[in-house]
Amino acid sequence: MITAWRIVKKRRAANAFDGEGARLFGGRWNSPGVRMVYVASTRSLAALEMAVHFDRSTLLGAFVLIPCRFNERLVAKVDRRRLPAGWRSDPSPRELATIGDAWVRDAASAVLAVPSAIIDEETNYLSIFDPKTIDHYDHFYKELAAHFGNKIDAVYACILGPYGDLAVLGVERCLRDAKVTQIYDGTNEIQRLLIGRETTRAMEELA
């Protein structure tokens, strides 16, 4: 697991991962109107990324560091060969926001690793995570778990042949429960419709 760090003002801590600031004002890797969350690979880099914008380091006392964790399999890395000359400059080249906007639009990964403009050997991470989208993922996980649970239990029942429905083995109970899971809280067909609706809304927001 990767642990990354987000630094925000204390009064914004409750909404640290909503990406609203980047959406309103844009950032190095996103245009205004594109929601994005910036996090750093270490505490010190997060503090440094913020401190470079201040005249006095004492202002950091108004900020808090918040950790977040994610699986490295969710991370894609930006191709450094695509970075324009002077990509570390301030203000940043428009091409960087184009790269970030395209990543959000294509939804190719949950997290994008990018080099820090301050110390290019260090890494920052970009994410489009928004707690308000959790309902969308609930639909997805429920449909996926019910579908594969039913498939796996059916395979085990077939492997056991005439013994597959013996209560003592528990397979028939698992198969029954998996089938019920496809029905309660909305059938899997309804879950697919909800997933499609939420995905369409998200894509319309990005358009």
133-206: CATH superfamily? Butyryl-CoA Dehydrogenase, subunit A, domain 3 (1.20.140.10)
Q: How far apart are CA 176 and CA 190, in angstroms?
A: 20
Most confident option among 59-63, 146-150, 162-166: 59-63
Q: How far is CA 75 from CA 35, 100, 123, 125, in A?
A: 18, 14, 12, 9
pLDDT on residue 71: 83
Nearest to 40 by CA among 52, 54, 56: 52
Read off the pLDDT of residues 9-39 as tens digits, 9 standing for 90 and up.
888 888 888 888 888 999 999 999 988 999 9
Most confident option among 64-78, 127-141, 173-187: 64-78
Q: pTM of the entire structure?
A: 0.61
Q: Is 113 exposed, middle or buried (0-12, 13-18, 19+ CB in 10 A)?
A: middle
Question: Tokens at residue 173, please?
Answer: 């109970």
Q: At what angle do helices 134-160 and 188-206 cross, to 10 degrees?
A: 140
Lowest-pLDDT range of 77-86, 96-105, 184-193: 184-193
The number of beta carbons lying within 10 Å of the beta carbon of residue 167 is: 8
Q: How far apart are CA 49 and CA 111, in angstroms?
A: 19
Domain range list for the chain: 2-129, 133-206
What integer is the mean pLDDT of 88-106?
Answer: 90
Place of tokens 């990005």: 206
Q: How far apart are CA 83 and CA 95, in angstroms?
A: 8
pLDDT on residue 12: 81
DSSP 172: H
Q: How far apart are CA 173 and CA 187, in angstroms?
A: 20
